[in-house]
Structure 1
Amino acid sequence: MLRRLALVGLCLTGWPARAQLNESDTTRLQVRAALTGNYQKGNVEVSTVRGKLDVVLSPDRVSPDQVWVFKSQNASLYQAFYGVKADNDLFSRNYLYYRPGRRVYPFAIAYLSTNYRRKIDLRYFAGAGGTGQLIRRPGHTLKLAAGAVYESTRFTAATFNETRYDGSETIGVWRVTTWLGGWHSLWDGHLRLYYDAYYQPALSDTRNYRWQYDVGVDFPVWKGLSFNALYTYTHENVVVQRIRPDDRILTVGLAYALRKVHRR
């Protein structure tokens, strides 16, 4: 007999979806905290805990035309199968935007992550770029961004599917990043669709690249409470030997909308 206990936490969010924490909004503070999980015991033993904390903050307390806006997106994932750890990951994405209310605006970026499954002990990169708002009307947003970053990754192994990197546990490269993301309110707000995708090739090696896309939906339920689902697909072309380059994950949960607006 298979018994399953689903653990789903409430989400506190500036908008009810991760991709809808928008630095171009005129709110002073947006916050989203989420906790989802799964526990199975019997024929299959699985335990999963996934948490997120996203924040968008503008220090400007007077005018909604923000000059500087800070965004931080943080996630953790833990999974175990039959008591054997499969994932124990942290991921922190941090941005500093200048006048994001404009059609085109610059940003600085800093990422920090670990990935147990991919044998990544520590990865960080930092750089800068610009964002263009292709569509920005009520209920519909579409943005395109591009930039350059320097990345350093320390692995727990020194043999890779691309042999040119063998012999060292650390790989450092310059990368170009392109990103596309959008979110849309449909059916008079009864469904919200959001998505984003990025591509990161290394400047020094055409075979060293990665890409990822997310697609999610929100179904508002009652007074800011909504059900949401998010599907993520990632591909990393340079990996440690015997590690697969592709990963897929689907998460579901509840969200609660909360935001603090500017006061004149």
Structure 2
Amino acid sequence: MSHIKDTSSDKIFGIVNSTIVTLLMLIVMYPLIYVVSCSISSPDLVSRGQIILFPRGLTIEGYRRIFMDENIMIGYGNTIMYTVLGTLVNLFLTLPTGYALSKKELPGRNIFMVYFLITMYFSGGMIPTFLLVKSLGLYNTRTILIISGAVSVYNVIICRTFFAGIPKELEEASIIDGCSTYRTFIQVVLPISKALIGVMVLYYGVSHWNSYFNALIYIMDNNKKPLQLFLRKILIIEQMNAAMTSNITDDDVYAEALKLKELLKYSVIIVSSLPVLILYPFLQKYFDKGVLIGSIKG
């Protein structure tokens, strides 16, 4: 088989293209590498800004200080539970909603969409929502962190657009074979929607993992708090310690407190984001397919 030789312009384009992509990759990767390096470097070097790329004066003092708090593992367990159960609730509600709204024959379809879209721009406000949660008996319960934000209108629109692109003949064939609408959705539509489900799991899962504001408002018991609140508490305590130490005449003690505070900041970032970084590569292929799902009007 003959091979077409690249022209000089093709070679130049390839070199320029590879160079640009490499530079973009380095720009994206550098912040992560920098944070990891700072989290395991000497606090003295970190505070003086002498860490550029690779770690220096290796230490795990930041991680040791974090995991000395017995509540960290409780927080990890709670956050994993809230993320898994919350994402399942999200999928259970979002996928059927998007499927129903993808049907042009649905009575009042446009009216439903208008109501959904209104909620994207207007909310009841924090205080009315708090009063509602309290009146429903959900205050200081795990349930509120699982069901709050159960449906994202943005994700519903993505699902609706994806389902609208499924050939109608496929569903008609399943109905002819005796499948009900419910069975068609479960056994025919969902199996060919793995890309969509992967994207929804990623979107909702990351949202639940990073969420802390709802827990800050609605949860009082330590054994129900997610990881993010415990990490926030550690940072606040270290900041207070540094501020209190500033009143001490011993400059060395104050300097050490400031260095530790700076080191903990980077360690907390890694501890809170590591599970998501581990999970993301497994969902990357679905994310690549799903990014363009909502770009075509359904």
Give TM-score, length-normalised by structure 2.
0.22
Higher strand share: 1
Give TM-score, length-normalised by structure 1.
0.24
Considering only CA atoms, is the larger Rg found in Structure 1 or Structure 2? Answer: 2
Higher helix share: 2
